[in-house]
Amino acid sequence: MKVHIRDASRADYPEIARIFSAVMPQRPLTAETLEHHLQILLDHPLRPHLREWLAEVDGEAVGQAMVFQSPSMFHPDRYHVELMVMPTHAQRGVGTRLAQEVEAHLHLRGAREVLAGAYEDQPHAVAFAQRHGLKEAMRVFDNVLDLGSFDFSAWDTQAQLPAGVRAMTLGELTREQGDDAAMRAYHSAFSEARLDVPRSGEATELTLDDFQKRAQSPNFFPDGVLLAVTDAGEVVALSELWRSPTGPQRLDIGLTGTRRAWRRQGLALALKLEAMRQAASAGVRELWTGNATTNAPMLALNTRLGFRPRPAYIEFHWGNV
C-alpha cells in the first residue's frame, strides 16, 4: 500500500472533518465548524502556528495530521498535535508516515512541549502515542445524561436561585441589555470561571474579541446559554448548551461555572437544571459533557444528576516549557 502525504488546505476541510468524525464519533466535526475554529486561530493576535497534512491511498483521503498552537493555552514553544487515521486503514502504516512528517516539523520548530490525545477504548492509538514518547497527563470522561428518564420533580427544591438573582438565557439578556452589554457581562463571568477548569498549562487571557468570535460558531446556541443575573445586571454564574452535529436530539454542555464570590450557593446546579428542563421541553434526548478526572466537584455534581461516564479521552504530554 503506497501512502501519499501532502499539505492540506481549506478545500480539504470536508475530508478532514469526515476522518475526524469517523475516528472520534463521540466528538463529531463538520467542515464549517472546523473552518470556524481554524480561522479564529489564524486571525488571533498571538499568531499561533498551524500546519496540516492529508494522507491519501489511491487518491482517497485516509488520514490527517495537524500541528497547532492553542490561543487558549498559548506558549511559543508548546504545540498540540491531532493525528487520525480512518478505521479502515488503521495499523497499516498510515499513522507512522504522518507521524514522521509531524516529528520532523516539530523538530524544525524547536518544540519544547507537545500535547496530543486518544480515547482509552482505542488501544492501538494509545500505544501509538506511548511509542512516540508521550506520557499520560490527564483524562477527561465523556459523561452522558438520558434526559428522557430524568425526574425533574425530585430536584425542584434544589433549583432555586438566591434572592436578587434570576435565571436568563443569553438571548433574553441580549434583548434586555443590548448586544454589547450582554456579551460583556457574559464574557466577564466566563473569563473568571474558566480559570478553574483543569488544563495541562496556564490559561491564556480570553479577550472580548476572542469571546465574540467563539459565539459565532455554527454550534453556538444563545438560548442554550443560561445565566444567573443579579438585579444590577451582573452575570455571576453560567451553564452553556451547544448544538451537536449529531442532530437535534443531542446537546453538548460547554462551561458551567460560578464567580468565586458567589460559590457554594447552588447557582451552578440551579442553572444546569434549568438548562436541562428547557432541553427536555425541546425534545432533546441526550446531554453530553466532558469532565476531567481531577475536577472532583463537577464530577460529583454530574454523577448526582445521573450523568454516566463513557470511555475517557486521554491527553498525552511530552516535554515542558
CA-to-CA distance for 251 and 242, rounded, in angstroms? 6
CA-to-CA distance for 104 and 67, rounded, in angstroms? 11
Residue 41: the pLDDT is 94
Closest CA to 234 of 192, 280, 188: 188
Show Cβ contacts of residue 20 under 8 Å, excluding neighbours closer than 6 positions: 27, 28, 29, 34, 64, 82, 84
Q: Quick count: other Cβ atoms within 10 Å of Cβ 35? A: 16
Show Cβ contacts of residue 184 under 8 Å, excluding neighbours closer than 6 positions: 208
pLDDT in tens, 131-179: 999 999 999 989 999 999 999 988 987 778 999 999 999 999 999 999 9
Domains within the chain, CATH numbers bracketed: 4-111 (3.40.630.30), 143-310 (3.40.630.30)
Whole-structure pTM value: 0.92
Cβ–Cβ under 8 Å, residues 242 and 221: yes
Specify the residue for cell string 488501544.
123
The tens place of each residue's pLDDT in the chain, 321 residues long, gives 899 999 999 999 999 999 999 999 999 999 999 999 999 999 999 999 999 999 999 999 999 999 999 999 999 999 999 999 999 999 999 999 999 999 999 999 999 999 999 999 999 999 999 999 999 999 998 999 999 999 998 898 777 899 999 999 999 999 999 999 999 999 999 999 999 888 888 899 999 999 999 999 999 999 999 999 999 999 999 999 999 999 999 999 999 999 999 999 999 999 999 999 999 999 999 999 998 988 888 888 889 899 999 999 999 999 999
